Amino acid sequence: MAKLYSTSDDLGDTMSRWIGLLQVDPTVGDLTGNAARLEHLASLASSQGAHVAVTTELAISGYPPRDLLLQEEFISLAQKTASSLRVEIPVLVGTPILPQAKRQLPANGVVRAGSSGAHPSGEGNSHVVARKQLLPTYDVFDEARYFQPDNRSGIARTIANLNLGVTVCEDAWQTAGLTPSTYSADPIEHLAEWGRQGVLLDATVNLSASPYHADKLSSRIHVCRTAAAVLGHPFLLANQVGGNDDLLFDGNSLVAWPDGRVVVAPAWQEGVLMVDIDGAERCHWIPSQSPDALNIGSDALRHISADDDGREYDKDLLEDLTDAVVTGLSDYCRKSGINSIVLGLSGGIDSAVAACVAAAAVGPQNVTGIAMPSRHSSQHSIDDARHTAESLGLVFDTIEIDSFHASVEASIGGMLRDGHPVASENLQARLRGLIVMAHANAQGRMAIATGNKSEIAQGYCTLYGDMAGGYAPLGDLYKMQVYGLADVLNARAEQAGRTPPINASSRTKPPSAELAPDQKDEDSLPPYPTLDAILHCHIEEGLDADDIAAKGFERSQVVEVLTRLERSEHKRWQMSPAPRVSTRAFGQGWRRPLASRHDWRY
């Protein structure tokens, strides 16, 4: 009598149990390109002996497809493309799936591509293997808007002689208790119940598009360990990698065994995590061979023992943040067809770090830095800007704005007179924005904005001025993190035998917008270490003024900071995408706040 549950001892060498997790970097909406990437990764997996491969969530459409899901034709084409991938092994492919009835929404599901093995049961001759049950609708997620939830377990039977449980992202998170509110169902517990009823599975896979933030990996390890323990078999999670606007996906695909061992794939790289479900030590990584594949940072696997909670991996924060920010900009450019970048170089820390990130993202020869000194600019600022540009190998230009600043002021002196002095400061910032944009438009480059999260949180920035640009690479980094990135970027340059691009004086001088004589940021804001700490308490931890004051901050200062934060919400709404690297972006991150409930000022 055939056994329902097989072990590697039964199978021998010819029937090893290898599963390839395809850690793909899809472009939203590019069905053809995404299919090609998946076929390439599947062929790598197949060539190294994988019997089955598993993609990430909605891999064929890219995550998040958002309003593309409102077009039935798009869903139909995505599903057909996913089902008919040209692959030599069975592949479980994440794709949107047409509604099962009229006036229903589509599903976020999984189809089986590849010819070998029997078709999954229960779906007629279709290839549908699973539909997502838990639809996250909080923070950056919005899935209840687009998808119908399912209430049945996903099981792929006899796929290359394996029986696999199939779950999609959030489905695995209820068991671990890490969702903001409770769902009424628990798909992992449901699969475990099938096991107790005698349906034996060899492993459960999870197709994920789990966004990055600092400290996320330890949560994901906890989720996979919990699922493996509940299920009593290996739990494999394939995670999307790369950037889509402000959403970053770190990859870090992983597998957990019921005994707590974990193997984690590299972050910020496209490739295949080859998993032998019977042996953690035999897992290995195959990088993508595509010339445009994301390939940032280390390609080493991380083997985590059962008594290690993985938090140490969250501690290389600045190295990881640097890779995250570079990935965000570089993927944004590739996916948008942008080959070159222009930015203003003030000589300050923000534009210096932004220039380094741009150079890493598109190559220094494709980056133009423009210094635009005014009557308020110091000579050291111009020197520092030049140093950064020259040591990186950027194209560098200097344009004095004083003459046309004066010319504009003369023309509109009447309206400025007796007016608020911020008008004149903003005028300079907007003249600079206008020059950067003129360059961008004339030369077909993308302008980037160089602001950081701390100043943006305080509205210490100018709409249509320094906020102008198509992407804000540092927009979710607090000021002190920008300094941290400067250290990482300088150290990396030194390691590579190049001149550190960021001068000590950019690191040590008091931050200044240089829009008025002897202006310092601290004239208007608390010192950045204090400001960052207060903002972190409120934005990331959700504390109110009283809670924050109880931590030892001066209450009046806390109230000032939170008031400025609220009053400048409308500005942030008009901000370009910024790679999300913190646990909480502003408010709900990418959701538009109401301006009309607040005082509205520029």
Residues 466-485 that bind a second copy (CB under 8 A): 468, 470
Q: How far is the CB of 128 from a second copy (least distance, A)?
A: 19
The one catalytic residue among 143, 169, 335, 425: 169
Q: Assess whether 335 carries a catalytic annotation.
A: no
The one catalytic residue among 57, 143, 270, 425: 57
Residues 517-556 that bind a second copy (CB under 8 A): 544
Give the residues across from 371 on adjacent strands.
Answer: 398
Are 364 and 326 in contact by the 8 Å Cβ rule? The answer is: no
CA–CA separation, 426 vs 150, rounded Å?
Answer: 53
Residues 267-306 that bind a second copy (CB under 8 A): none
Tell me: does residue 100 bind a second copy (CB under 8 A): no
- Where do the H-state alpha helices sit in 68-215? 72-83, 173-176, 187-196
Which of 6, 8, 16, 27: binder of a second copy (CB under 8 A)?
27
Q: Assess whether 132 carries a catalytic annotation.
A: yes
Are 303 and 297 in contact by the 8 Å Cβ rule? The answer is: no
What's the distance, CA 404 to chain centroid?
40
The one catalytic residue among 73, 88, 132, 356: 132
Please give the backbone phi and psi of residue 250, each rounded to the nearest 5 degrees, phi first: -90, -5
Interacting span for a second copy (CB under 8 A) from 279-287, 289-297, 334-342, 376-384? 334-342
Are 38 and 88 in contact by the 8 Å Cβ rule? The answer is: no
Please give the backbone phi and psi of residue 31, each rounded to the nearest 5 degrees, phi first: -60, -45
CB closer to a second copy, 5 vs 404: 404
Q: How far is the CB of 434 from a second copy (least distance, A)?
A: 5
DSSP letter at 266 equals P
Q: Assess whether 169 carries a catalytic annotation.
A: yes
Structure tokens at 402: 């004083």
Which of 484, 576, 580, 582: binder of a second copy (CB under 8 A)?
576
CA–CA separation, 451 vs 460, rounded Å?
Answer: 9
Tell me: does residue 142 bind a second copy (CB under 8 A): yes
Closest CA to 88 of 56, 118, 52: 52
Residues 119-138 that bind a second copy (CB under 8 A): 137-138
State the maximum Cα–Cα separation within the chain, in Å, rounded to a whole number: 96
Structure tokens at 6: 């097989």
Q: How many amino acids of this chain bind a second copy (CB under 8 A)?
A: 89
Structure tokens at 43: 């062929």
CA–CA separation, 50 vs 47, rounded Å?
Answer: 7
Tell me: does residue 567 bind a second copy (CB under 8 A): no
List, in order, residues 6 or more apart from 451 with CB less than 8 Å away.
Answer: 350, 461, 466, 467, 472, 474, 475
Per-residue binding letters, 73-92, with a second copy (x by CB under 8 A): x-------------------
Are 91 and 53 in contact by the 8 Å Cβ rule? The answer is: yes
Q: How far is the CB of 438 from a second copy (least distance, A)?
A: 5
Q: How far is the CB of 275 from a second copy (least distance, A)?
A: 30
Tell me: does residue 580 bind a second copy (CB under 8 A): no
Tell me: does residue 593 bind a second copy (CB under 8 A): yes
- Collapsed DSSP state (helix, strand, coil) of residue 241: strand
CB closer to a second copy, 393 vs 589: 589
Q: How far is the CB of 107 from a second copy (least distance, A)?
A: 13
- Where do the H-state alpha helices sit in 72-138? 72-83
CB closer to a second copy, 5 vs 138: 138
Residues 444-463 that bind a second copy (CB under 8 A): 444, 446, 463
CB closer to a second copy, 64 vs 154: 64
Beta strands in 412-495 (DSSP E): 446-447
Q: How far is the CB of 181 from a second copy (least distance, A)?
A: 5
CA–CA separation, 201 vs 311, rounded Å?
Answer: 30
List, in order, residues 6 or more apart from 361 with CB less than 8 Å away.
Answer: 326, 329, 330, 333, 341, 473
Residues 1-20 that bind a second copy (CB under 8 A): none
Tell me: does residue 602 bind a second copy (CB under 8 A): yes
CB closer to a second copy, 407 vs 508: 407
Residues 382-441 that bind a second copy (CB under 8 A): 397, 399-401, 403-404, 407-408, 411-412, 414-416, 419-420, 422-424, 426-427, 430-431, 433-435, 437-441
Q: How far is the CB of 535 from a second copy (least distance, A)?
A: 16
CA–CA separation, 409 vs 411, rounded Å?
Answer: 5
CB closer to a second copy, 375 vs 598: 598
Closest CA to 189 of 158, 165, 218: 165
Tell me: does residue 373 bind a second copy (CB under 8 A): no
Per-residue binding letters, 44-73, with a second copy (x by CB under 8 A): ------------------x-x-xx--x--x
Q: What angle do the packed helices 479-495 and 349-362 form, to 10 degrees? A: 50
Residues 241-260 that bind a second copy (CB under 8 A): 243-245
Residues 336-355 that bind a second copy (CB under 8 A): 336-338
Q: How far is the CB of 440 from a second copy (least distance, A)?
A: 6
Q: How far is the CB of 536 from a second copy (least distance, A)?
A: 17
CB burial of 150-161 (b: ≥16 within 10 Å; e: otherwise) equals: beebbbbbebbe
Q: How far is the CB of 428 from a second copy (least distance, A)?
A: 10
Give the residues across from 249 on adjacent strands.
Answer: 211, 242
CB closer to a second copy, 108 vs 426: 426
Pair type for strands 254-256 and 235-239: antiparallel
Residues 157-216 that bind a second copy (CB under 8 A): 180-182
Give the catalytic positions in this structure: 57, 132, 169
